[in-house]
Structure 1
């Protein structure tokens, strides 16, 4: 019962947050800003959005192809189309219950390619950890590129004394957490150590498998498609077309985090994109429109490929 309530809350709360942000944003807009928002949707050059979707699709293909390397390392094979449909279903399911896509992906391969669930899930986790490292690298690079702007914004929002205090508190909490993790005998921490050890083993296995370099190249390419499809999208609006790469990187990273910590970024993604772009003189109404255009186009792609995959999988895997 407790797990069911938590699952329901994990769906409902992000949606409520999204509804709140929509109401909050549009109630703050003046009639002129609402008109600017409407005009931004109308005057957008959607051919750049279509091009970004093609690039996004190649990312799906690369992710599905990359999967075969970890599966082969575990001693299993699966047709490419099963891998591709499983990846598409994973993206689709993540729009409902956060992180449910990984489970759905493993279940799909168990059902249609007879790969044991735990083995398939292990390969997925190893992929996710590699993706996490790349995301951390992107965050670090963005902070380095946009340090001055981000620093000025933080100091504007939070006085230096408070920012320093928060930094000291965060540092103390981090050191305390590390010490607790290293020396505590609590059962839940011991279980956490076992899980982290398993993740570490899974990640290290990537570097031991025969096709590690193709795997890593696909991993890099997948993230290149993420950045590239976002970058190409800025040319859809005149106000965003002149943005530099550093600005795009900052907006991309913050937008990625918004999607990671919500149900697909519903309303949160356009809100944070508008806030970041406002630091670079993009009007908030235009930034909001840009965020909605990018988010909606990606959601349409996810829904289309997800539904398409659910329909085709049983047909292509029909026993003769």
Structure 2
């Protein structure tokens, strides 16, 4: 019951954010903008996203086979991956468990082992997200600072930090000592144990990458996944007249904001993705309406792709499991 309440609440929040963002956008404006879309560029972006799914499935295969003697086909990992994406549209984060369950059924691999590879995947993705954010900051430093100045006066904040530097350093030292003693006192509590296990799993996961036989393939595919995200967003930007003139680094910044929006615990990034993408596009001179339309087109095309491919993958999965059941009976 608690899990279903969380699902319903996250969906309600997503719908509310989406409604609040698009309540003033007329259907006529949206349809006019869709009519102006270059379907060639949009179709190519969908093809690139499909290629990205395949690359992610292939990377997952490398992780599963690391240190093992068995082989897994990329087709089977792709089926599990797409069903996982489909489930994520209904229940946030449940897709990670679902895809492990699917592959466990088709390949007879322990779910626990598969979950370990998914945790490792997410750790590596987090690392590449951080690198992407750093790259965007280097290339679009002025945009970052301008946005920051819109929220807080950079000069005033810097002056206050300089004047209060001894107090800040003293506070950090006291806070560090307090956290150290608090950690030692409650080290056996459930929350601290979960935090320690999470950090330990992340560190062990990164260390276990060395067991992957194809190191170049693993790290190269990880970089290719994020490049495919960028290329997909660039092609959609070219497909829409209002965003066709965005620079390459601007599109990178939009991708970063969209990726942060997708991390939010709501179904498929609904609402949060649209809000952050529209917000950053306004910083590049687009109107609020143009930013919202871009966000809904790129997100809608991806959701539609996941729905279609995910349903096909689900049908293939049911066929495989039924054939296995008939052979065993």
Normalised-by-shorter TM-score class: 0.7 to 0.9
Contact 2:254 2:277 in 1 (8 A): yes
Report the counterpart of residue 56 of structure 1 in structure 2. Answer: 49
Give matches, 1:60-75, under 5 Å: 60-75=53-68
Pick closer, same or farther for the CA change 1:74–1:122 going to 2, 3 Å.
farther
Equivalent position to 2:286, from 270, 282, 285 = 282
Q: Gaps (5+ residues) in structure 1? A: none
Report the counterpart of residue 90 of structure 1 in structure 2. Answer: 84
* CA displacement at 1:9 relative to structure 2: 4.0
Larger Rg: 2
Contact 1:90 1:100 in 2 (8 A): yes
Report the counterpart of residue 127 of structure 2 in structure 1. Answer: 133
Give matches, 1:38-187, under 5 Å: 38-75=31-68, 76-160=70-154, 176=175, 180=179, 184-185=183-184, 186=186, 187=188
Report the counterpart of residue 253 of structure 1 in structure 2. Answer: 256
Contact 1:255 1:269 in 2 (8 A): yes
Cα RMSD (Å) of the superposition?
2.9
1:193 equivalent in alignment to 2:186 = no
* CA displacement at 1:45 relative to structure 2: 1.4
Pick closer, same or farther for the CA change 1:208–1:174 going to 2, 3 Å.
farther
Pick closer, same or farther for the CA change 1:280–1:210 going to 2, 3 Å.
same
Contact 2:36 2:241 in 1 (8 A): no
* CA displacement at 1:289 relative to structure 2: 0.7
Task: Give deviations 1:113-137, integer Å, cap 9, x for gaps.
Answer: 0011111111111111111100110
Equivalent position to 2:301, from 292, 297, 300 = 297
Contact 1:10 1:98 in 2 (8 A): no
Give TM-score, length-normalised by structure 1: 0.88
**Counterpart Cα distance in 2 of 1:170 and 1:267:** 37
Q: Secondary structure at the match of 1:240?
A: coil
Report the counterpart of residue 268 of structure 1 in structure 2. Answer: 272
Task: Give deviations 1:9-33, integer Å, cap 9, x for gaps.
Answer: 432333323333344334556x7xx
Q: Secondary structure at the match of 2:243?
A: helix
**Counterpart Cα distance in 1 of 2:180 and 2:39:** 50
Pick closer, same or farther for the CA change 1:113–1:289 going to 2, 3 Å.
same
**Counterpart Cα distance in 2 of 1:194 and 1:229:** 36
Q: Report the more deviating stretch, 42-51 or 119-128.
A: 42-51
* CA displacement at 1:163 relative to structure 2: 5.6
Give TM-score, length-normalised by structure 2: 0.85
Q: Gaps (5+ residues) in structure 2? A: none
1:210 equivalent in alignment to 2:213 = yes
